[in-house]
Amino acid sequence: MTKADGTTRTHARPPKIKPRLRSADVVGALIGVAFLLPVVWLTVCAFKPVSELAAFPPSLLPIPPTLENFGAAFVDGDFGAFLWNSLIVAVLSTVVVVCLGLPAAYGLSRTRMKGSARILTSLLIVSVFPVIAVIPPLYVILRGMGWLNSYQALIVPYVAFGLPLAIWVMRNSLLPISPQMEEAAEMDGASTLRTIIQIIVPQALPGIFVAAVLTFVSCWQEFLMALSFNASAQYQTAPVGIALFGGAFQLPFGTIFAASLVALVPIFVLVLLLRRWVVDGLSTGAVKG
Amino acid sequence: MSLLTTTTGTATPVARRSGTARTDRTRRRGVLLAAPAIAVIALVTLVPIAFSVYLSLSAVRPGVEGFEFTFVGLANYAEALQNPAVWEAFAFTGTYTVVSVTLQIALGLAVALAIDRMTRWAGITLAMLLIPWAMITVVSAQLWSYIFNGVYGIANYLLMLVGVIEAPVTFLGNPTGAFVALLVADTWKTVPFVALILFGGLRAIDKELYAAAKIDGAVPARILGQITIPLLRQSIITAVVFRVLQAFGLFDLPFVLTNGGPGTSTQSIAMLAYNALFQDLNVGYGAAIACLTTAIVAVFAILFLRTFKVDESHD
């Protein structure tokens, strides 16, 4: 099993010797810090007064820190409405993905269904296929259905594009579960659905969490479909709001960064809380970036 | 372990019994359980792609009762292939894909190797890497456009500090600078993703192989080339495929960071198709470009499928 720090599963470490600075540890940690720096800069700049944002050379700390950018984003700019739309779309998509994906993962891993290998490989391709391939036809179809500028215009495609990955992740977490309890439940006359809910779900919970988090994160980030299908500001999501901030000549970076920081908090918290599982999910290769 | 290999050897005993009534029942049950999800995926991806082929062969005009379609054969494709902007977009996207994926796989491997050597702080380092991975691409694009700003960007400040340049440079004002800006922004977000996939592969390698190679007197470069990389093959393939398909669909980053410019030098295929649809309102033409993209990506995907085996876990 993975240790709590998410590092290793195969090789047991020798008992801890008193810490001594090893160059490998320092190099590794510095790499991590380096990747963090741009986000640190984003945070610093979100708290800078507007006058300081365009200073050169730039000041490295927001002294004094100010909330005026947050005011501009949420009080004057109504960025909260974009976040609300993102939340509705991402949460509903995630719920549907898990509800449809879990039975599919079960069917593809624990029954004698034919052609499941071929289906699984195709799913993998679908999950990373460029979205632009479906933008023109989906636009025409959604327009025909009168679904442009609505939540479902995003939820339906997000579900379809989120399912393949979620099915993969959940399938991988179902494979090691012993079939004996299932068989026993079946002998007792439990229905398939009941077996899944009572026997499988509790044991596959980590996999289900990872699938849900990954789906949520990818819905929260999605831009091209959100931009294409919902032109009305009433249904635009956070990435669209962030991309379209500002006028033709001057970008209000302070406002953009304040809004961005708030939009990033939910996914950062989710990802860091489920860090161990997400790292495992990523490192088993079943995740797109 | 990559997902290409995790699937072996976990056959369920239930599934091995064959030819019984129970087998038929679980087979039917499998289909029933998987059908709704597969149907949704097919309806929203495969059906529209087929419809897109039809659109690409039509002149599409917005009419009173929705769109009106007139069959025009290959006219949209002919128009696309005669347009230098299309060739430019394909050339940019292709170059970008090759350069970015090569760079990101190399850096991702380096980062994965570095983490694999850590005995302390590995958990926190992985957590720090998850942050750029979870970043909203549009936010990343805005952030890097601020960093690379020609007047007050901190990139200029840092480069002047170490003496690489003497005066601020307008990175986004020339094609090479804009290409580099895209590359840096993309690499920042993507290397952690590649590193995590490869790190998973590294963890599965038996460390005694390294010890044995060292005893035999192999130098680190030789160990990397003859033990590590061959054993990481599946993870590397997974990372390359994911990255190639994503890079080829590049949209968010240039849309916000460079707006395809300067001029049209960083206009990706996806941006071109988007502009055809939503600026020129030319649905048929946009569909033709989308179909060309689909065809190229599909060829790559098929080549990949040949190297890719999933165990059905019950054959």
**Model confidence pLDDT, tens digit, residues A218-267:** 999 999 999 999 999 899 999 999 998 865 456 789 999 999 999 999 98
Indicate the residue among A66, A92, A119 that finishes a domain: A66
Beta carbons within 10 angstroms of residue A50's beta carbon: 14
Per-residue model confidence (pLDDT) at position A262: 96
Å between A88 CA and nearest CA of chain B? 17
Q: Read off the pLDDT band of B144 (50, 70, 90).
A: very high
User: What does chain A come to in residues?
Assistant: 289
Mean pLDDT confidence for B176-202: 93
Residues A124 and A54 placed together within one structural domain of the fold? no
Tell me if chain B has a CB within 8 Å of the CB of A264.
yes
Per-residue model confidence (pLDDT) at position B315: 34
Per-residue model confidence (pLDDT) at position A109: 84
Interface test with A, best of B131, B184, B245, B307 (most A CBs within 10 A): B131
Provide the residue range defining the domain that includes A27: 23-66
DSSP state of B121: S
**Number of H helices and number of E strands within chain B?**
17, 2
Partner-chain contact A35 B152, CB within 8 Å: no
In a domain, A44, yes or no: yes
- The segment with the largest mean pLDDT, out of A58-67, B147-156, B209-218, is B147-156
Interface test with A, best of B10, B119, B151 (most A CBs within 10 A): B119
Residues A32 and A175 placed together within one structural domain of the fold? no
Partner-chain contact A129 B297, CB within 8 Å: yes
Work out how many CB contacts closer than 8 A connect A with B.
385
The full set of domain ranges for chain B reads: 75-306
Rounded Cα gap, residues B57 and B69, in angstroms? 9
Statement: residue B64 has pLDDT above 90: no
Rounded Cα gap, residues A193 and B110, in angstroms? 46
Residues of B in contact with A161 (CB under 8 A): 44-45
Q: Read off the pLDDT band of B261 (50, 70, 90).
A: confident
In a domain, A106, yes or no: yes
| C-alpha R_g of chain A | 23
Rounded Cα gap, residues B239 and B236, in angstroms? 5
Share of chain B above pLDDT 90, in %: 55
CA atoms within 13 A on the CB side of B301: 20
Q: Which residue of A has its CA nearest to B313?
A: A109
Per-residue model confidence (pLDDT) at position A3: 43
Conformational region of residue A191, where left means phi above 0, alpha means psi within -120 to 50, and beta covers everything else:
beta
Residues A29 and A86 placed together within one structural domain of the fold? no
Per-residue model confidence (pLDDT) at position A114: 74
Residues A61 and A110 placed together within one structural domain of the fold? no
DSSP state of B171: G
Tell me if chain A has a CB within 8 Å of the CB of B299.
no
Share of chain B above pLDDT 70, in %: 89
Q: Tell me the β-bridge partners of B69.
A: B60
Rounded Cα gap, residues A165 and A168, in angstroms? 5
Mean pLDDT confidence for B61-86: 88
Tell me if chain B has a CB within 8 Å of the CB of A249.
no
Partner-chain contact B38 A160, CB within 8 Å: no
Q: How many domains does chain A have?
A: 2
Per-residue model confidence (pLDDT) at position B312: 41
Rounded Cα gap, residues A263 and B38, in angstroms? 32
CATH no. of B75-306: 1.10.3720.10
Rounded Cα gap, residues A253 and B34, in angstroms? 46
Tell me if chain B has a CB within 8 Å of the CB of A216.
no
Statement: residue A147 has pLDDT above 50: yes
Residues A121 and A216 placed together within one structural domain of the fold? yes
Per-residue model confidence (pLDDT) at position A11: 55
Per-residue model confidence (pLDDT) at position A46: 95
- A198-228 pLDDT, tens digit each: 888 888 888 898 899 989 999 999 999 999 9
Query: Are the C-beta atoms of residues A243 and B145 closer than 8 Å to each other?
Result: no
Partner-chain contact B119 A24, CB within 8 Å: yes
Q: Which residue of A has its CA nearest to B66?
A: A144
Query: Are the C-beta atoms of residues B182 and B261 closer than 8 Å to each other?
Result: no
Residues of A in contact with B51 (CB under 8 A): 137, 140-141
In a domain, A226, yes or no: yes
Partner-chain contact B26 A111, CB within 8 Å: yes
| Structure-token pair, residue B265 | 């030098």
Among B residues 227-286, those touching chain A with beta carbons less than 8 Å apart: 234-235, 238-239, 241-242, 245-246, 248-249, 251-252, 255-256, 269-270, 273-274, 277-278, 283, 286
Partner-chain contact B157 A58, CB within 8 Å: yes
Residues A124 and A27 placed together within one structural domain of the fold? no
How much is the mean pLDDT over chain A?
A: 85
Rounded Cα gap, residues A224 and B55, in angstroms? 20
CA dihedral A5, A9, A12, A14 (to 10 degrees): -30
Nearest to B130 among A129, A257, A278 (CB): A278
Partner-chain contact A33 B117, CB within 8 Å: no
CA atoms within 13 A on the CB side of A264: 24
Q: Read off the pLDDT band of B69 (50, 70, 90).
A: confident
Statement: residue B58 has pLDDT above 70: yes
Q: Where are the beta strands (DSSP E) in B224-281?
A: none
Q: Which residues of B110-149 are buried (b: 16+ CB within 10 A; e: fewer)?
A: ebbbbbbebbbbbbbbbbbbbbbbbbbbbbbbbbbbbbbb
Residues A145 and A44 placed together within one structural domain of the fold? no
- Specify the higher pLDDT residue, B14 or B103: B103
In a domain, A198, yes or no: yes
Indicate the residue among A7, A42, A66 that finishes a domain: A66
Nearest to A132 among B31, B141, B293 (CB): B293
Statement: residue A89 has pLDDT above 90: yes
- Specify the higher pLDDT residue, A177 or A69: A69
Per-residue model confidence (pLDDT) at position B210: 86
Partner-chain contact A121 B310, CB within 8 Å: yes
Statement: residue B14 has pLDDT above 90: no
Partner-chain contact B38 A104, CB within 8 Å: yes
Rounded Cα gap, residues B136 and B132, in angstroms? 9
Among A residues 115-134, those touching chain B with beta carbons less than 8 Å apart: 116-117, 119-121, 123, 125-126, 128-134
Residues of A in contact with B293 (CB under 8 A): 130, 132-133
Å between A98 CA and nearest CA of chain B? 10
Element at B5 (helix H, strand E): helix B3-6
Q: Tell me the β-bridge partners of B63.
A: B66
Residue whose pair of structure tokens reads 């997000």 in the numeric block: A158
Residues of B in contact with A136 (CB under 8 A): 52, 55, 273, 277, 283, 286-287, 290
| Structure-token pair, residue A71 | 């005011």
| 3-state DSSP assignment of residue B166 | coil
Pick from A172, A213, A164: nearest CA to B313: A172
Among B residues 71-110, those touching chain A with beta carbons less than 8 Å apart: none
Partner-chain contact B239 A285, CB within 8 Å: yes
Per-residue model confidence (pLDDT) at position B92: 97
Statement: residue A289 has pLDDT above 70: no
Mean pLDDT confidence for B198-207: 85
Statement: residue A62 has pLDDT above 80: yes
Residues A80 and A48 placed together within one structural domain of the fold? no
Per-residue model confidence (pLDDT) at position B30: 83
Interface test with A, best of B1, B2, B10, B12 (most A CBs within 10 A): B12
Statement: residue A69 has pLDDT above 70: yes
Beta carbons within 10 angstroms of residue A37's beta carbon: 12
Q: Domain containing A168 — which CATH number?
A: 1.10.3720.10
Q: Read off the pLDDT band of B50 (50, 70, 90).
A: very high
Per-residue model confidence (pLDDT) at position B11: 41
Tell me if chain B has a CB within 8 Å of the CB of A75.
no
Tell me if chain A has a CB within 8 Å of the CB of B23.
yes
Q: Tell me the β-bridge partners of B62.
A: B67
CA atoms within 13 A on the CB side of A73: 28
Å between B92 CA and nearest CA of chain A? 16
Residues A121 and A201 placed together within one structural domain of the fold? yes
| C-alpha R_g of chain B | 24
Could you write out the DSSP letters of every residue in chain A? ---TTS--SSSPPPPPPPP---HHHHHHHHHHHHHHHHHHHHHHHHTS-HHHHT-SSPPSS-SS---HHHHIIIIIS-HHHHHHHHHHHHHHHHHHHHHHHHHHHHHHHHS--TTHHHHHHHHHHHHHS-GGGGHHHHHHHHHHHT-SSSSHHHHHHHHHHHHHHHHHHHHHHHTTS-SHHHHHHHHTT--HHHHIIIIIHHHHHHHHHHHHHHHHHHHHH--HHHHHH--SGGG--HHHHHHH-S-SS---HHHHHHHHHHHHHHHHHHHHHTHHHHHHHHHTT----
Partner-chain contact A134 B4, CB within 8 Å: no
Handedness of CA B268, B271, B273, B275 (dihedral sign): negative
In a domain, A2, yes or no: no
Tell me if chain A has a CB within 8 Å of the CB of B10.
yes
Mean pLDDT confidence for B47-58: 94
